[in-house]
Amino acid sequence: MNELAIRGADVPTLDVASIRAEFPILSRQVHGRPLVYLDNAATSQTPRRVIEAFDDYYGRYNANIHRGLHTLADEATAAFEGTRETVRGFLNAAEGREIIFTRGTTEAINLVANAWGRANLGAGDEVLISRLEHHSNIVPWQLLARELGFTIKVIPVDERGVLDLDAYRALLGERTRLVAVNHVSNAFGTVNPVKEMAALAHAHGALILVDGAQATPHQEVDVRDIDADFYAFSGHKVYGPTGVGVLYGKAALLEAMPPWQGGGEMISTVSFEAGTTFAEIPHKFEAGTPAIAEVIALGEALRWTTGVGLAAIGAWEQRLLERATAAVSRIDGLRILGTAPGKAGVLSFVVDGAHAQDIGLLIDQLGVAIRTGHHCAQPLLAQFGVDATCRASFAAYNTLDEIDTFAEALERVIGMVR
Ligand code: PLP
């Protein structure tokens, strides 16, 4: 069942005006017009309290964590580890040690590939990914497959951008070691039935890695309910900073995995004579000084997001999506790509006789920020016979008026380039 489709009438509505007031960037002008920011699937904006977390850290308690005995180090460590607990709650993970801080989703997937993959994959094995994947859930597996000789198989999608579950069932077999799929597609907004997919993977003795970069901003995620073995997301798509993300992994799996990067923090003892022993999880996978301020600010972002309420955010984004879909559908020669039922707040489209890049550049002149290009999903776009789309994607702070401004601006620029 598609999680975003499940909405009770009791979902609280958002006070969008007061939400907007918390985001300083939303009051700026672009080319002399009020900014209409509809590039949220690439990076969402950050509320003031997230920005202030940086100021507070660097102004009051900037210190390296874990190894200091002084007050500043203690405070920084407590704030850093406090975020681990916030993330644990955000994902409903069983234990804080199952939360590993990374640079983002990309690094989290590379961690699984290099630590778990190198220890567990070889010739004859199969890894299933889908055609909906972002390049960051394709290329790490291709790089490793080239080295280790395992095979990558691809779950197909239909003309709506929905995964073919019968094909998935048929691809699963005794050689399948891992299924690596996104929870929500960044290019089309498709919400994948990852709980069902996890159960099927497990029935075949395979693990499942879920790329949650586009799910965590729009819906509540429960890694234990999904029964995900690994789950990854990025801070900058959930109202948080860039340069920080999370890998959740089941404790027993993480404990059995070798480290992937060596250095400080991840060791227990180092000796030229006796060799090196490693720290316990999660520190075994956090070599070197992490992005301390970013991790602390991520905690603020997740507390802000859960405070507003993901059910309410998701429901509001659906209203924005409906309004935008209705408005752009009236435009002659415009084709929406990605029409999965219950999809997230992502609207991808192409326009006859107008290249996406031209539309993106011209609409920016009218103050509207959308994304144009291949969205790091070239295999998906290739299936639809295009190399680029325009993509508008929505967040808690977008308004219905902004959708109207976007639709009017779009009609204007299409008129200019055709
Ligand atoms: N996976 C999906 C579905 C994404 O949308 C993105 C970013 O657009 C990523 C992975 C990569 O995230 P990051 O660049 O933050 O590592």
CA of 22 to the centre of ligand 1 (A): 25
Q: Whose alpha carbon is nearest atom 7 of ligand 1?
A: 42
Give CA–CA dist 314/2, Å, rounded.
Answer: 13
What residues have CB less than 8 Å from 396, skipping those under 6 apart? Answer: 14, 16, 19, 239, 308, 313, 316, 317
Contacts with 355 (C-beta within 8 Å, 6 or more apart), sequence order: 388, 417
pLDDT of residue 67: 80
Let me know if residue 4 belongs to a domain: no
Dist CA 207 CA 248 (whole Å): 13
Total number of domains in the chain: 2
Q: Which CATH number characterizes residue 366's domain?
A: 3.90.1150.10
| Ligand 1 neighbour 213 (Cβ under 6 A) | yes
Residues 77 and 204 in one domain: yes
Q: 311 vs 9, 60, 100, 317, CA distance in Å?
A: 11, 35, 26, 10
**Cβ of 104 less than 6 Å from ligand 1:** yes
User: Which residue numbers are catalytic?
Assistant: 376
Query: What pLDDT score does 9 carry?
Result: 52
Q: How many residues does the chain have?
A: 418
Is the same domain home to 329 and 388? Answer: yes
Contacts of residue 358, Cβ cutoff 8 Å, sequence gap at least 6: 413, 417
Is there a single domain that holds both residue 281 and residue 372? no
> Do the bridges between strand 371-373 and strand 389-393 make them parallel or antiparallel, or are there none, so unpaired?
antiparallel
- 210 ligand 1 Cβ < 6 A: no
| Residue 284 exposed, middle or buried by CB count within 10 Å (0-12, 13-18, 19+) | buried
Q: Is 243 strand, coil or helix?
A: coil
Q: Compute the C-alpha angle 96/102/103, nearest 5°.
A: 150
Helices of type H across 257-291? none
Q: Is there an atom of ligand 1 within 6 Å of 206 CB?
A: no
Closest ligand 1 atom number to CA of residue 237: 15
Domain boundary among 254, 279, 306: 306
User: Which are the contacts of 277, defined by CB distance < 8 A and separation ≥ 6?
Assistant: 267, 268, 269
Cis check for the bond before 282: say yes or no (omega within 30 of 0).
yes
- Let me know if residue 367 belongs to a domain: yes
164 three-class SS:
coil
**136 lies in the same domain as 147:** yes
Which residues are paired to 127 by β-bridges?
Answer: 152, 178
> Ligand 1 centroid vs 140 CA: distance in angstroms?
13
- 214 within ligand 1 shell (Cβ under 6 A): yes
Regarding the beta carbon of 211 and ligand 1, being less than 6 Å apart is answered yes
Of all atoms in ligand 1, which is nearest to the CA of residue 184? 3
My answer on whether 247 and 165 are in the same domain is yes
Which protein residue has the closest C-alpha to ligand 1 atom 14? 106
Q: Is residue 202 part of a domain?
A: yes
Contact between residue 200 and residue 172 where contact means Cβ atoms under 8 Å apart: yes
The alpha carbon of 72 and the centre of ligand 1 are apart by a number of angstroms equal to 33
Q: Is the CB of 106 under 6 A from ligand 1?
A: yes
Give the CATH number, domain containing residue 270: 3.40.640.10
Quick one: CA dihedral 303, 241, 188, 22, positive or negative?
positive
d(CA 174, CA 206): 8
Angle at which helices 71-91 and 292-308 cross, to 10°: 40
Q: Are 229 and 208 in contact (CB under 8 A)?
A: yes
On whether the pTM is more than 0.95, the answer is yes
Domain-located, residue 56: yes
Do 279 and 319 lie in one domain? The reply is: no
Q: Are residues 149 and 296 in the same domain?
A: yes
Please check whether residue 111 lies inside any domain of the structure.
yes
- Both 96 and 116 in one domain: the answer is yes
Tell me, yes or no, whether 282 and 209 share the same domain. yes
Position 134 in a domain: yes
Q: What range does the domain containing 347 cover?
A: 16-47+308-417
In a shared domain, residues 400 and 273: no
Task: With respect to residue 265, please indicate whether it lies within any of the assigned structural domains.
Answer: yes
Ligand 1 atom 6: residue of nearest CA: 213
Would you say the C-alpha torsion 108, 112, 115, 118 has a positive or negative sign? Answer: negative
Burial of 187-219, coded b for 16+ CB within 10 Å and e otherwise, reads: bbbbbbbbbebbebbeebebbbbbbbbbbbbbb
Helices (H), 25-164: 48-56, 71-91, 105-111, 118-120, 139-148
- Does 5 fall in a domain? no
Interval between CA 367 and ligand 1 midpoint (Å): 25
The Cα–Cα gap between 244 and 102 comes to 6
What residue owns the CA closest to ligand 1's atom 5? 186
The pLDDT score that the predictor gives to residue 7 is 44
Q: Per the structure block, which two tokens stand in for 241?
A: 């900073």
Q: How far is the CA of 16 from the centre of ligand 1 (A)?
A: 26
Q: Is 215 in the pocket of ligand 1 (CB under 6 A)?
A: no
Start-to-end Cα distance in the chain: 41
- What is the structure's pLDDT at 10? 64
Helix axes 292-308 and 48-56, enclosed angle (nearest 10): 150
Do both 184 and 264 map to the same domain? yes
* 53 Cβ inside 6 Å of ligand 1: no
Per-residue pLDDT of the chain (418 residues; tens, 9 = 90+): 333 334 445 667 899 999 999 999 999 999 999 999 999 999 999 999 999 999 999 999 999 999 878 999 999 999 999 999 999 999 999 999 999 999 999 999 999 999 999 999 999 999 999 999 999 999 999 999 999 999 999 999 999 999 999 999 999 999 999 999 999 999 999 999 999 999 999 999 999 999 999 999 999 999 999 999 999 999 999 999 999 999 999 999 999 999 999 999 999 999 999 999 999 999 999 999 999 999 999 999 999 999 999 999 999 999 999 999 999 999 999 999 999 999 999 999 999 999 999 999 999 999 999 999 999 999 999 999 999 999 999 999 999 999 999 999 999 999 999 8
Ligand 1 atom at minimal distance to the Cα of residue 235: 15
Domain boundary among 248, 281, 306: 306
Domain boundary among 306, 323, 340: 306
- Ligand 1 centre to CA of 239 (Å) is 14
Residue 186 Cβ inside 6 Å of ligand 1? The answer reads yes
* Ligand 1 midpoint to CA 110 (Å): 12
Atom of ligand 1 at shortest range from CA of 182: 3
> Is residue 67 packed enough to be buried (19+ CB in 10 Å), middle (13-18) or exposed (0-12)?
exposed
Whether residue 313 is found in the same domain as residue 397 = yes
